Amino acid sequence: MENRIKELLAEIEAFNTNNISALEKFRIKFLGKKGIMNDMFEHLKSLPNEHKKDFGQYVNTLKNSINSKIESIKENLNSQLDLSVNQVNIDLSLPVNFNNLGSRHPISIMRKRIIEIFERIGFTVSDGPEIEDDWHNFSALNFPEEHPARDMQDTFFIEQKPDIALRTHTSSVQVRVMESTKPPIRTISPGRVFRNEAISARAHCIFHQIEGLYIDKDVSFADLKQTLLYFAREMFGEDTKIRLRPSFFPFTEPSAEMDISCNLCKGKGCNICKYTGWVEILGCGMVDPNVLENCGIDSKVYTGFAFGMGIERMTMLKYQIKDLRLFFENDLNFLKQFESVI
């Protein structure tokens, strides 16, 4: 093994490059998780105690040699870069290019578009705090004490304040509107929400929702269906079809999930709609009478419907974006694609 270390020291001493990619390969070869140094340390663990000290000194010498070589090459590369930059001739008389216009973020574009659609049929926009108490985020919305959404795995609770959390949906805004406004109520609540989920191409711990609420006398499920059909056709085109599937939400009864005909394959089946011809876009239902009573509204006089959708999901469908994380990375190459969208 000592001969092996001497061979490695000679290899390190002889190594030289002016290419940053080659330097990175060299670093990974020796210092990566599956690199040579990792093997050396594993071998050290298996040695008898009387041999560990001597071998450990060899290993440290090898590691120091690697780090010194990497730093030396980095300094050389940086000095070459500085020299090349200083040698560039800059014409200060050239005019400034004012054509680099900024662009709206795709989430902002979609949020504005959804609001415009619902404003045409009388919905107003309401807002509320992102840090909420248990009543507005859960209890008033008919969430029982044992509901899994209250668990730490789904909710970000404020430390030392178990009744305060980052809101998990914008339904909390609807509760505040119902508490402070007499029917008729027709409002949408756009905003940022938080859930304790692993970040992936399809999920994030931060995302945006728009939830709608309509309360008045004699509001029916047919009113809900026609409102959502109008929205789907305004957003995705006149040929868009919808279907409602039975579901369950604590704050609506009956509840449903709404699908639209896939706007990519026109309902024929593709990988986006999983070859079903349909794509789910939102949840909805008639407001549970308990929720109305919790907010001081007489459920024997008034009825209403509610719906909620994720803005990221709508944006992904509209612009065929396949990775949710792109919305949060501020990649200019990604954002520049939306320069022409108002």
Percentage of the residues of the chain whose pLDDT score is greater than 90? 39
Q: Is the pLDDT of residue 75 over 60?
A: yes
Lowest mean pLDDT among 50-54, 115-119, 176-180: 50-54
Q: What secondary structure letter does DSSP report for 94? A: S
Greater model confidence, 185 or 69: 185
Look over the chain and give the mean of its residue pLDDT values, rounded to a whole number.
86
Give the contacts of 300 (CB within 8 A, at least 6 positions apart).
none
| Per-residue pLDDT, 41 | 79
Q: Is the pLDDT of residue 268 over 60?
A: yes
DSSP assignment of 129-177? -SEEEHHHHTGGGT--TT-GGGSTTT--EETTEEEEEE-SSTHHHHHHH
| Per-residue pLDDT, 118 | 96
Q: Six-digit token pair at 59?
A: 């290993």
Q: Is the pLDDT of residue 83 over 60?
A: no
| Per-residue pLDDT, 233 | 93
Report residue 218's pLDDT band, with 50, 70 and 90 as the boundaries.
Answer: very high
| Per-residue pLDDT, 263 | 75
| Per-residue pLDDT, 151 | 67
Identify the CA nearest to 73 among candidates 20, 148, 35.
Answer: 20
Q: Give the ranges where 160-297 is alpha helix by DSSP (H).
A: 171-180, 221-236, 289-294
| Per-residue pLDDT, 291 | 95
Q: Is the pLDDT of residue 15 over 90?
A: no
DSSP assignment of 121-137? TT-EE----SEEEHHHH
| Per-residue pLDDT, 246 | 95
| Per-residue pLDDT, 87 | 56
| Per-residue pLDDT, 152 | 59
| Per-residue pLDDT, 211 | 95
Percentage of the residues of the chain whose pLDDT score is greater than 70? 92
Interior CA angle at 140 toward 134 and 145, to 5°?
A: 60
Q: Is the pLDDT of residue 217 over 80?
A: yes
Instruction: Say which CATH architecture domain 106-338 belongs to.
Output: 2-Layer Sandwich (3.30)
For the chain, the structural domain boundaries read 2-86, 106-338
Question: Half-sphere exposure of residue 83, counting CA atoms within 13 Å on the CB side?
Answer: 6
Parallel/antiparallel/unpaired status of strands 303-310 and 278-287: antiparallel
| Per-residue pLDDT, 153 | 58
Nearest-angstrom CA–CA distance, 188 and 206: 20
| Per-residue pLDDT, 150 | 67
| Per-residue pLDDT, 86 | 56
Q: Is the pLDDT of residue 282 over 60?
A: yes
Q: Is the pLDDT of residue 164 over 70?
A: yes
Measured CA to CA in angstroms, residue 135 lies from 153, 170, 174, 274 at distances of 19, 13, 12, 39
Compute the average pLDDT of residues 268-290.
86
| Per-residue pLDDT, 304 | 96
**Best-predicted range by mean pLDDT (24-38, 90-104, 213-227):** 213-227
